[in-house]
Amino acid sequence: MQGHHPRKRFGQNFLADTHYVQRIVDAIGPHAGEHLVEIGPGLGALTRPLIARAGYLIAVEIDRDLAARLAAEFAPDRLTLHVADALEFDFAALGSGLRVIGNLPYYISSPLLFHLAAYDAHLTDVHVMLQKEVVDRMTAQPATQDYGRLTVMLQALFRIARLFTVPAGAFRPVPKVDSAVVRLIPLREARPAITDVTLFARVVAAAFGQRRKTMRNALSTVCDEGALERAGIDPGVRGETLSVGDFVRLANDLAGRPA
C-alpha cells in the first residue's frame, strides 16, 4: 500500500482495483470547471483520475501523513488540501455547486451523511462508496427491514440511487463486507415542505427508536393518539410502514398545533 500502514482508528480500507476506480470515475463524469470535493482521498486512487479529467480538486483528509503525500504529488493549482475531520468540516465555506465524492469509512458513514445533508443547498450531487448494508438502508422502501431513520431523513432531502456493488476484494486491506456506490441528488424544488425540521427529526427518531413499538407507543413523548389520528396516521401501525410523506404530514400537523 505504497509504504503506508492503514490506521484502524481512521477506518482505512483503500480502493485498489483499477476496474472499480474507473467505474466510479465514469459514474461521476467529472468535467473541467466543476467544483469537485473528495472526502478522504487516502492514497489517491480516485484523486488522480479525477484531477486528470477535471484539472482541479479539493480534498478533505484527516490523516496528516496521507495529506502530506498528496500535497507533495500535486501542485496547489491542481489540488487544495484541507487537513480536517469531515464530520466537523464546514462544507459551506467551499461555496456552492459542490460535487462531493468519497470512499467513506464504515464507522462514520451515517453521521457523515447526516452532516452532509445539512449542506444540501450547497450540493450539486454526492457520489460515495459505503458499506452495502448502509446503501440498502438509504434506498429502502416502506414496510421493509432496511427502512428506517436514515432512509426517511435522507429521502426527504435527496433522490438516491444505488449504482453498483464493489466486492470486498477490491480493497486493501480487505474488509469483512461488500460496499456499494450510491448517488444522492438534492431534491431542490421537489423537496417536501417541512415546517419544523427539528420536530420532523424528533418524530422520525422516535418512530424508529424501538422498531417493534407501534406509533401510539413510540411517539408517546411527542404526541397523543388523537394527534396521530388527526394527521391520518393509524396509531396501531409501526413507523416502518409509513412513507416519507406520512412523516412530513405528521410533523407538519404537530408543528401547527399547540404543545
The domain spans of the chain are 8-190, 197-255
Task: Give the chain's end-to-end CA distance (angstroms, integer).
Answer: 57
Grid cell at residue 41: 482521498
Averaged pLDDT, 190-203:
96
DSSP run (H or E) holding 249: helix 244-255
At 107, is the pLDDT very low, low, confident or very high (cuts 50, 70, 90)? confident
Distance of alpha carbon 187 from alpha carbon 195, whole angstroms: 16
Mean predicted confidence (pLDDT) in 205-211: 93
Q: What is the pLDDT of residue 176?
A: 87
> What type of residue is 49?
P
Q: Which of 190, 178, 140, 133 is nearest to 160 (CA)?
A: 140
Domain 8-190 belongs to what architecture?
3-Layer(aba) Sandwich (3.40)
Query: What CATH topology corresponds to 197-255?
Result: Helicase, Ruva Protein; domain 3 (1.10.8)
What is the rounded CA–CA span in Å between residue 89 and residue 37? Answer: 12
Q: In DSSP terms, which residues pair with 100 in a beta bridge?
A: 37, 126
pLDDT in tens, 126-141: 999 999 999 999 999 9
Torsion over CA: 41, 96, 22, 47 (sign): negative
**pLDDT for residue 55:** 97
